[in-house]
Amino acid sequence: MSLSVPDICDQFIDEIVVFDPVFRDFGARRKFSGEIVTIRCFEDNSLVGETVRTPGQGRVIVVDGGGSLRRALLGDLLAAAAAKNGWEGLVINGAVRDVEILETIDLGVKALGACPVKTDKRGEGQLDVSLRFAGAQLDSGQYLYADANGVVVARRELGVDF
């Protein structure tokens, strides 16, 4: 039997950080986990687009969009590319769009909300940088575990059946 995020909290509370409960589920996959790749961008998803087109190898993209709900950092085309390339999911401190289609793509997607407006493409953003949002400090190489109960991050792979 696989564990849930509450089970991980019960067993590893001293090794994890629990995200503030601010995210909504948008993808078809409600439970996902993997090694983190971080991105910082603001109302420009150029780097998100580049990253989802690379081999995901079961990893999770964590995007700090500054909490902006004025532009969507992920839509159906980028989500489909992420799923096709083996990414487990994305956690976005910002907005997504095409929510009816996101629900059909086998990908975990958590975000603050939805916005129908696409981003500007200015080629901006930073990859593999330290992020801080939702009460958590996040770095590439950490491990994220997410389900309907919430999101937690650990410095190491916890070696559990999730």
The verdict on residue 82 lying in a domain is yes
The verdict on residue 61 lying in a domain is yes
Q: Would the pTM of this model clear 0.85, i.e. be above it?
A: yes
Sequence-ordered strand ranges (E) for the chain: 16-18, 24-25, 32-40, 60-64, 72-74, 89-96, 108-114, 126-127, 131-133, 136-138, 143-147, 150-154
pLDDT, residue 80, reads 98
Split into its structural domains, the chain has a count of 1
Per-residue pLDDT band at 100 (split at 50, 70, 90): very high
The verdict on residue 126 lying in a domain is yes
Domain limits for position 147: 5-12+21-154
Residue 76: both structure tokens together: 């159906």
- Mean pLDDT throughout 121-145? 97
pLDDT digits (tens, 9 = 90+) for 13-34: 999 999 999 999 999 999 999 9
The verdict on residue 159 lying in a domain is no
Residue 147: both structure tokens together: 């389900």
CATH number at residue 117: 3.50.30.40
First to last CA, the chain: 9
The verdict on residue 125 lying in a domain is yes
The verdict on residue 121 lying in a domain is yes
Per-residue pLDDT band at 1 (split at 50, 70, 90): confident
Mean pLDDT of the chain: 97
Per-residue pLDDT band at 96 (split at 50, 70, 90): very high
pLDDT digits (tens, 9 = 90+) for 31-89: 999 999 999 999 999 999 999 999 999 999 999 999 999 999 999 999 999 999 999 99
The verdict on residue 128 lying in a domain is yes
Residue partners of 159: CB distance under 8 A and separation at least 6: none
The verdict on residue 161 lying in a domain is no
